[in-house]
Amino acid sequence: MSLSPVIRSVNGPRIAVTGTPGCGKTTLCEGLASTTVSVATLAAQHNCLGPSDVEDDASPVDIELLNERIEWPEGSPLWVDGHLSHLLAVDAIVLLRCHPEALQQRLESRGYTETKVTQNVESELIGLIAAECEGRPCLELDSADSIADLIDAVKAWTADGFKPSRPHATIDWIALIHDGD
């Protein structure tokens, strides 16, 4: 799947808040107190949801179709909440990361199946979403930081026009875990 091209919004920037499920995207969006829309809401509004999966009760989003059909709501800035949001035509990306052990505990406490927990923890461990964000302005943050610190970092980066484009090095959980041994 190819990334959607960046289309600079006339009404203000569209900023994806992405990361593995359970890393704190919605909490961050709520704390930003700005206009927020979820990928699931956009997909439902534009008839881009597939049938619900009986195993995990999730409905797949057809990202390519959504990118074709999307009509962006007015607003400045618009925060797009969801683990697929970075695949939409956004101006910048805020990527939340979560240590794999903490993520496993969060997902298990939500009642996720063992398969879903394993898939998401492995995705976080190898930095799958981080790799998908290459080539776009992206602020990568560790969700272990306080929500106030995360909000401050996001506001400072957005106020500076998303500069630098990648202000932090990509988090490498594998290296951090092995260095801790």
DSSP 9: -
3-state class (DSSP) for residue 97 = strand
Residue 94 CA to residue 150 CA, distance in Å, equals: 10
Q: Quote the CATH superfamily of domain 14-179.
A: P-loop containing nucleotide triphosphate hydrolases (3.40.50.300)
DSSP per residue over 35-62, as a string? Answer: EEEEHHHHHHHTT-B-PPPTTT----B-
- At 33-52, the pLDDT tens digits run 778 899 999 999 999 998 77
Q: What is the pLDDT of residue 29?
A: 93
Domain residue ranges in the chain: 14-179
Residue 17 CA to residue 138 CA, distance in Å, equals: 10
Q: What is the pLDDT of residue 7?
A: 43
pTM (predicted TM-score)? 0.88
Q: What is the pLDDT of residue 3?
A: 44
- At 88-114, the pLDDT tens digits run 999 999 999 999 999 999 999 999 999
